[in-house]
Amino acid sequence: MESIETYVGLDVHRKLVVATALNERGEQLEQAKLTSAPQELIDFLRRLPGHKHVAIEACAMWEPSFNTAEAAGAEVTLSHPLKTKLIAGASLKSDKVDSEALARLLRLDALPTSFAPPPELRRLRGCY
């Protein structure tokens, strides 16, 4: 039996998370505006089929969503913001476009990444 892979891009803000989920063929499965409440992201990810790959752009608010997605069992990648913008190059900029671009780049294995410290180091830094 083949495993199903789902690719999710999260455009994260202080009070809002825009999520776009794509299947293996790049077809949109779901797009949603979520609050920053962890349970909403967990519920969103649990609705999706198969193994989840999540991309989050490195920004001031990445850690809570990163931690929540990891706790929900997703494989999470932190993207490099400047390099991602250069590659995605969208002329129309919106949270929906950004979250979809993250998911597409992740699916294509073309997402420029940033270092995401392991949980132990994040705890030592006193962040989360």
Per DSSP, 113 falls in state B
Give me the domains of the chain, ranges plus CATH numbers: 5-124 (3.30.420.10)
Contact between residue 7 and residue 108 where contact means Cβ atoms under 8 Å apart: no
Whole-angstrom distance, CA of residue 89 vs CA of residue 91: 6
How many Å apart are CA 109 and CA 94, to the nearest integer?
Answer: 22
For the stretch 46-81, pLDDT in tens is 999 999 999 999 988 899 999 999 999 999 999 998
* Model pTM score: 0.89
Query: What's the rounded Cα separation, in Å, for the pair 91 and 85?
Result: 10
